[in-house]
C-alpha cells in the first residue's frame, strides 16, 4: 500500500500547496482518491509525481467542505467514469463557518450530480476498503465549539458531522485510516473504528485533527492541557503513526509532536508514504 499526498497546506519548491487536502492511494492493484483540495493544484502535483488520475477506480469525499471537494470538478474533466462516495447526510445541506459558506460548490453539485454516490452509513466499497460514518453521540457540541454550522429550516445549527466519514483500508489484521479533518474528534474516530473492527490493529491515521482556532493554522482552539490529553490518549490506545497537518494547526502540532515523537509525521504536498 502506498499513499501520495497530492495537495496539502505545506508546499515546497517542487509541489504546490493550498489550504486543502488530497490523497492518492495504491492498494491491492487498484487506485483511489480521497478528497481533491479546493482547486486543480492536486492534478499538477500528481503529474510531477507520475500519478495517472485518468483511470482511478474510485474517489471518496471525507466531508462536505469546499477545501476537500471543489477540485473534483477538474478531475471529472479528465476522468469520465470516476464516481465520488460521500455520506447521504450531506445531500442538500449547506455548511457554514460562522457566516461564511464553506460547503461543496453548488455549481459542482449541479453540473456533476450524477458523479456523486450517496452512502447511508457503513459500506464496504471494495474488498478491504470501507466507508465508516460517525457513531458517537453529541458531536454537535464540537461543531458549536468550532463555530461550524449547517442550515436547517433557514436557521444555522451546530454541525453534528453526520456528513463526515472515515475511509478504512484493511490489510490482514492491520487498519489504515483516512479522515481528512476529524471534526468529530480523532479520539472518537479511534474508538468508533475499534468498535467496528474488533481485534484489528490501527497502524496509521492520515488527516488533520481540526485543533486549530478560528484564526487559522497559527492559532489553537484547545488548551495545552486538552491537546496533551489527546496526545496521551493516542499514545496509549493505538500503535499507529499519525500523518497529520492541514487543520491540526501549528501550535497543537508542536504540542502533539512533543508527546507522540516519531509517531507524529507532518504532511506536505508531494509526500509519498510506503506502508
Structure confidence by residue, pLDDT tens digits, 128-152 = 999 999 999 999 999 999 999 999 9
- pLDDT reported for residue 197: 98
- pLDDT reported for residue 261: 98
Whether the full predicted model's pTM is greater than 0.75, yes or no, is: yes
pLDDT band for 166, please (50, 70, 90 cuts).
very high
Q: What is the pLDDT of residues 231-254, one digit of tens each?
A: 999 999 999 999 999 999 999 999
- pLDDT reported for residue 182: 98
Q: What is the DSSP string of the chain?
A: -EEEEEE-S---SSS---S--EEEEEETTEEEEE---SSTHHHHHHHHHT---TT-SEEE-SSSBHHHHTTHHHHHHH-SS--EEEEGGGTT--EEETTEE-BS-HHHHHHTGGGEEEE-S-EEEETTEEEEE---S-THHHHHHTTEEEEETTEEEE---TT-EEEEEEETTEEEEE-SS-TT-HHHHHHHHHHHSTT-EEEEEES-----BTTBTTS-SS-HHHHHHHHHHHHHH---EEEE-TTS-HHHHHHHHHHHGGGEEE--TT-EEE-
Q: What percent of the chain has pLDDT over 90?
A: 98
pLDDT band for 124, please (50, 70, 90 cuts).
very high
- pLDDT reported for residue 239: 95
Q: What is the pLDDT of residues 54-93, one digit of tens each?
A: 999 999 999 999 999 999 999 999 999 999 999 999 999 9
Amino acid at each position: 500500500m502506498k499513499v501520495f499526498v497530492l495537495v496539502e497546506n505545506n508546499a515546497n519548491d517542487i509541489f504546490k500547496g493550498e489550504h486543502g487536502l488530497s490523497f492518492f492511494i495504491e492498494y491491492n492493484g487498484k487506485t483511489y482518491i480521497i478528497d481533491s483540495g479546493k482547486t486543480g493544484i492536486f492534478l499538477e502535483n500528481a503529474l510531477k509525481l507520475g500519478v495517472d488520475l485518468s483511470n482511478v477506480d474510485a474517489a471518496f469525499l471525507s466531508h462536505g467542505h469546499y477545501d476537500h471537494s471543489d477540485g473534483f470538478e477538474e478531475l471529472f474533466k479528465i476522468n469520465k467514469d470516476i464516481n465520488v462516495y460521500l455520506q447521504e447526510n450531506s445531500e442538500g445541506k449547506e455548511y457554514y463557518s460562522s457566516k461564511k459558506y464553506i460547503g461543496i460548490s453548488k455549481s459542482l453539485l449541479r453540473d456533476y450530480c450524477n458523479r456523486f454516490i450517496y452512502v447511508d452509513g457503513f459500506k464496504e466499497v471494495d474488498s478491504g476498503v470501507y466507508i465508516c460514518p460517525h457513531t458517537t453521540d453529541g458531536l454537535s457540541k464540537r461543531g458549536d465549539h468550532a463555530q461550524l454550522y449547517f442550515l436547517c429550516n433557514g436557521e444555522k445549527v451546530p454541525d453534528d458531522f453526520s456528513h463526515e466519514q472515515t475511509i478504512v483500508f484493511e490489510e490482514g489484521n492491520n487498519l489504515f485510516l483516512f479522515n481528512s479533518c476529524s471534526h468529530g474528534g480523532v479520539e472518537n474516530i479511534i474508538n468508533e473504528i475499534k468498535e467496528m473492527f474488533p481485534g484489528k490493529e490501527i497502524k496509521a491515521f492520515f488527516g488533520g485533527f481540526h485543533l486549530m482556532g478560528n484564526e487559522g493554522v497559527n492559532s489553537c482552539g484547545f488548551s495545552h492541557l486538552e491537546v496533551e490529553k489527546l496526545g496521551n490518549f493516542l499514545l496509549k490506545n493505538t500503535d499507529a503513526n499519525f500523518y497529520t497537518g492541514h487543520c491540526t494547526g501549528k501550535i497543537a502540532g508542536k504540542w502533539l509532536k512533543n508527546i507522540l515523537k516519531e509517531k507524529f509525521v507532518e504532511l506536505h504536498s508531494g509526500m509519498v508514504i510506503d506502508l
